[in-house]
Structures are given as structure tokens and as C-alpha cells.
Amino acid sequence: MKLATAAYQMDFLNSWDDYVAKLTEWVSEAASNGAELMVFPEFGCMELATLKGRATAMDLEASLHAVNELIPQVDALHAELAKAHGAHILAASAPVFDPAYGPRPVNRARFFAPSGDMVVQDKQIMTRFEREDWDVVPGCPLQLFDTSFGKIGILICYDSQYPLLGRALSEADMILVPSTTEAAYGFNRVRSGCRARAIEQQCITVMSSTVGDCDWSTSVETSRGRGGVFGPPDTGFPEDGIIAQGVMDRPGWTYADVDLDAVARVRKDGVVLNRTHWDEQAGRDHPAELRSLS
């Protein structure tokens, strides 16, 4: 299958029609290049706050509510585009006020099938900014989605840095990692998490990023990153595990042809069997004994 993962530049939008035109152009471009799966980044929907004006977009709390109000329309647009192009689309994640998780918003990614059907995945562990400044909270537990081309899981940005969350998705053939990171430090943490999860669970990981400056926002004012697709450095995959990666901070799609059957093969008969041997760590999670050496 062919996939496309985004390095997505957010814009100041003058109208809803501007957003429709922008998203339609992105999806159409990927589809014209044969992409069957498209991955947009974390918090890429924050540009929608600009439809309420600069003051709203700059206000941390007001911007959450402004975006949340538009999510039904955003989802309807994604469903329409997924059906029109016969593609799976992971929409850019967004703050969603879901009463099931209390009065504060979750960070929610919505995943669309070619039928237009939608499933959701919420972020599990909040960054310091999300918990200390924005008061975004964890939502629904991790889920595994059985698609026409394999089992897919989603770890939103910071979640990719936690091996037990990756292990919870050990049946996934592919893990999608939408991200937004304000500096190269953060980008490299998420990228390293993606590569580690690909090694541990012997699967494919797909990272998308927001890129560029947004002088209209205090939540996503600067983003660094690029698209990337990774696998285990083992049989059937590149020797460095890098299947594809874009140019740092350059907006656009990164494309990759991936063979999900290679995941099954490496899990069964790789040079190493990290996923199979995971349980041999059992009982070794206690602190190592400190001994003196002089």
C-alpha cells in the first residue's frame, strides 16, 4: 500500500471556505499520487480558531472552544473526502469537550474509512504544557482498528515515547503518530519514540508533524518537524529502519510504499524477535542493586 504523511503548515483562515479548499487540495494531491492512507498531525486543527478572529486564536482557553465548536463540520468534510477518494484519513487532532471525560477537553484524533465511517483515539499522557497551561485531559483508552489493509493503532505525539503504550498496541501492523513539537528537541524525542516502538513491536510507525510559525497563536506558535515512516532495522526493511522521511520544516507530503506482510514475516523469522521476547523482561522492572566499586 502507499501512504502519505504530512508536514502541515497551519494558516490564518479568512473563511470556512478557505479551510475546505485547503484540506481538499491536500487530500486531492495525496490521492493523485496514489496514497490510500493519509496522516495529518497533532493539533493541526488549531488553525480553525482563526475563524473567530486573532484575539480568540491567541487566547488559550477561547481557542479550545472555538475549535471544538467546528469539529462536527470538520468531521463531515473529512468523511466526504475519504469517500470521494476511497482513502483512509487520520484527521489532524483537535481539542474536543466530551462530557464523558469531565469539563475539560481531550486531545482527539479522528480516523476515517473510505466508507466515511469514523473512529476516534484520544491522547493518553499529557505534556507539561497540556496539563499545566492548557488543562487538556486524557480521554478514551487505546484502541486497535482493523482496516482493509491491516491493524492500525494511534499514539498521539508524547504517547509514542512510552513503551508500555506501544506494547498495548502490540497487535498493530502500523502505528500512526500525529505530532506537534515546538523545537527540534521535541521533534527528535517523538521521532526516537517512533523508531523505538518500531523496533520493540516489529511494526511500521508513521510520524506526521506541524511545521512553521503561527504568529496568531500562543499554543502552536512555532512548530518543527517532518514526515517520517519507520520500521525495524531487520529482514525486509531498510538497514537503518528509515522507510521514508521528508525535509525538515518543509511543508508537504512524504510518501512511502509499505508492505504490511513484511511485518508478519519479521515477527516470525527476523534476525531478532524483540516482540516475542518482550515478556522475558518480566520481574526485571525493579531498581538495580547499587553496589560499590572501588
Do the beta carbons of residue 205 and residue 197 sit within 8 Å? Answer: yes
Residue with cell 473510505: 114
Nearest-CA neighbor of 205 among 82, 39, 35? 39
Q: Which amino acid is at 60?
A: L
**Local confidence band at 266 (pLDDT 50, 70, 90 cut-offs):** very high
Strand-pairing partners, residue 90, are 39, 111
pLDDT at 230: 98
What does the pLDDT look like over 270-284, one tens digit per residue? Answer: 999 999 999 999 877
What does the pLDDT look like over 89-98, one tens digit per residue? Answer: 999 999 999 9
What does the pLDDT look like over 199-255, one tens digit per residue? Answer: 999 999 999 999 999 999 999 999 999 999 999 999 999 999 999 999 999 999 999
Alpha carbon distance 61, 192 (integer Å): 31
**Local confidence band at 289 (pLDDT 50, 70, 90 cut-offs):** confident
Alpha carbon distance 72, 22 (integer Å): 18
For 205-268, give the DSSP string: EEEEEEEEE-TT-SSSSEE----EEE--SSTTS-TTSEEEE--TT--EEEEEE--THHHHHHHH
**Local confidence band at 286 (pLDDT 50, 70, 90 cut-offs):** confident
% the chain with pLDDT above 90: 96
Nearest-CA neighbor of 197 among 222, 226, 166? 166
User: Is the Cα dihedral 12, 18, 20, 24 positive or negative?
Assistant: negative
Alpha carbon distance 262, 204 (integer Å): 9
What does the pLDDT look like over 63-114, one tens digit per residue? Answer: 999 999 999 999 999 999 999 999 999 999 999 999 999 999 999 999 999 9
What does the pLDDT look like over 149-174, one tens digit per residue? Answer: 999 999 999 999 999 999 999 999 99
Q: Are strands 150-154 and 37-39 parallel, antiparallel or unpaired?
A: unpaired
Do the beta carbons of residue 81 and residue 27 sit within 8 Å? Answer: yes
pLDDT at 255: 98
Domains of the chain and any CATH numbers: 2-281 (3.60.110.10)
**Nine-digit cell at 117?**
465511517
> How many Cβ atoms from other residues are within 10 Å of residue 100's Cβ?
7
pTM of the predicted protein model: 0.97
Residues whose CB falls within 8 Å of the CB of residue 141, separated by 6 or more in sequence, listed in order = 124
pLDDT at 283: 76
